Amino acid sequence: MSYDAHNIYYRFDDHLSRLVLDYEASRRVDGASERLYHDIPSEEYGEDIFHAYDVKRGLRNVDGSGVVAGLTRISDVHGYKRVDGKVVPDEGHLILRGYDIEDLITNAQAEGRFGYEEVAYLLITGELPTAEELDDFNGRLGAYRHLSSEFVRQFPITTVSPSIMNALQRAVLLLYAFDADPDNITPEHEVDVAISLLSRLPRLAAFAQTFHSAQVSGKRASVPIPEAGFSTAEAILQILRGEDGYTREDAMLLDVMLMLHAEHGGGNNSTFACRVLSSSGTDAYSAYAAAIGSLKGPRHGGANAKVVSMHEDIRAHVSNWEDEDEVAAYLGKILDKQAFDGTGLIYGMGHAVYTLSDPRAEVCRRYARTLAAKKDLGEEFALIERIERLAPQVMRDHGMTKPICANIDLYTGFIYKMLGVPETLFTPLFAVARMAGWSAHRMEELFCAHRIIRPAYRPVIDPLEYKPLADR
Which residue, 10, 9, 53, 13, is CA-closest to 27? Answer: 9
Which string of DSSP letters, residue by residue, matches 301-358? TTHHHHHHHHHHHHHHH-S-TT-HHHHHHHHHHHHTTSSTTSS---TTB--SS-SS--
- What phi and psi values does residue 73 have, to the nearest 5 degrees? -110, 10
Q: Are 119 and 436 in contact (CB under 8 A)?
A: yes
Phi/psi region, residue 95 (left: phi>0; alpha: psi -120 to 50; beta: rest), is beta
Helix H or strand E encompassing 90: strand 86-96
- What phi and psi values does residue 416 have, to the nearest 5 degrees? -60, -40
Q: Are 79 and 353 in contact (CB under 8 A)?
A: yes
Phi/psi region, residue 218 (left: phi>0; alpha: psi -120 to 50; beta: rest), is left
- What phi and psi values does residue 99 have, to the nearest 5 degrees? -105, 135
3-state secondary structure of 171: helix
Q: Are 207 and 170 in contact (CB under 8 A)?
A: no
Q: How far is CA 96 from CA 57, 72, 206, 302, 367, in A?
A: 28, 11, 29, 23, 21
Catalytic residue positions, numbered? 300, 351, 409
Amino acid at 236: I
Q: What does the alpha-carbon distance between residue 443 and residue 287 come to, in Å, rounded to a whole number?
A: 11
Which residue, 79, 455, 57, is CA-closest to 265? Answer: 79
Amino acid at 394: V
Instruction: Count CB atoms within 10 A of the CB of residue 51.
Output: 11
Amino acid at 15: H
Q: What does the alpha-carbon distance between residue 456 and residue 444 come to, in Å, rounded to a whole number?
A: 23
